A = this chain, B = another copy of it.
Amino acid sequence: MKMDGRKQQVLMAIIQDFIATAEPVGSRTIARKYKLGVSPATIRNEMADLEEMGLIEQPHTSAGRIPSDLGYRYYVDNLMQRGELTKDEEDIIKNGYESKLKDVGHVIQGTGDMLSQLTNYAAVVMTAQRGRTAFKHIQLIQMSEGQAMVVVVTETGAVHHRIIDIPESITAGDLETISGVLNRKLQGRAMEDIRLTLMKEIYFELAKQKQILNKAMDLINEGLTLEAEDKIYLGGVFNILNQPEFHNVEKVKTLLSLLEQEKLLHKLMSEVFDAGGITVRIGGELSNEKMQECSLVIGTYGLGDEPMGSIGVLGPTRMDYTRVVTVVEHMTRNLSLVMHRLITGRNR
């Protein structure tokens, strides 16, 4: 069976109508609403063909057709054309970032909020800086006998902190010294460099405080890799309650429990991490079987061709792909710009 122009038109009509109404689409509806210039009977014949090709299916005999995962796939790959954002929406993004330019935490959170607001689905934002962020400042602060707080600030404005145990013999003065040396030596370096080249040098200078130094280095590593790299921000999760496919509380519960698992999200988002551009995962294409009724649109942002993280929109398979892909594309572009500004010049 080969795909001709009219079949495409019919498939497109079915998908668009189903996305809009969430109801199975009948031949009559298509003939009436989408003016293909043929009768319902002809459309029925085409639909029979499309069904045979696996692009659409029937919930039950006397219902209309709904798109299958494969149908959505064909639509996304071949039929869908990118849309444009309205002036207003462009402004929302611009203003949204303008006010949050100060540190990476706000930028990430703002991105998630805007994504969900613009699409009305749930948003997932993942940062994965992979050690490329530059170190800015470290401070060791004595909290009590045997305890100190380590605060690490990165070039992007992320602040990581943790309380660590230290030998009781170490004084506030020692901590100040260590902070000073670390700051001097690590100034402006990227994490990768810190690990590989500087350790020995600093060890030498601070031989006395080896133990505490170890812990500080651990935190820098953690701070700039683990915490920053795998951080996942969720936004607008409750938007899914507005989708008719989630009017059943049980489904909501299973989906929410899935979203609580950072690992799972991380896996889903990472599967396409190196792909670049926009990726669409539809229903069964998502590796998790409990997510068969969802689709995920993922975009990667970064500096040049070096990826820094990805952003995604999660909704029902019946999501408005045109709009979501458009929004995700815009947001990745904007986010890349903002991150560039944040990491390099901060030129404002």
Contacts and interface: CB of A to CB of B under 8 A. Distances in A.
A188 interface: no
Interface-centre pick from A102, A246, A248, A345 (highest chain B CB count, 10 A): A102
A196 interface: no
Interface string A93-116: 000000000110000000000000
Given A139-B151, A346-B147, A163 B159 contact: no
Nearest to A248: B249
Contacts of A346: 143-145, 147
A102 B252 CA distance: 35
Contact of A157 (B143, B145, B345): B143
A136 interface: yes
A161 interface: yes
A242 to B, nearest CB: 8
A203 interface: no
B151 A151 contact: yes
A252 B241 contact: yes
A312 B239 CA distance: 26
Contact of A256 (B147, B241, B248, B260): B241
A238 interface: yes
Contacts of A102: 147, 162-163
Contacts of A159: 149, 151, 159, 161
16 contacts: A102-B163, A136-B141, A137-B141, A144-B345, A151-B153, A153-B161, A157-B163, A238-B257, A241-B249, A241-B252, A241-B253, A246-B249, A247-B249, A248-B249, A249-B252, A252-B252
Interface in A115-161: 136-137, 139, 141, 143-145, 147, 149, 151, 153, 155, 157, 159, 161
Nearest to A179: B139
Nearest to A347: B144
Interface string A319-348: 000000000000000000000000001100
A241 B157 CA distance: 38
A321 to B, nearest CB: 24
A140 to B, nearest CB: 10
Contacts of A145: 346
Contacts of A139: 137, 139, 151
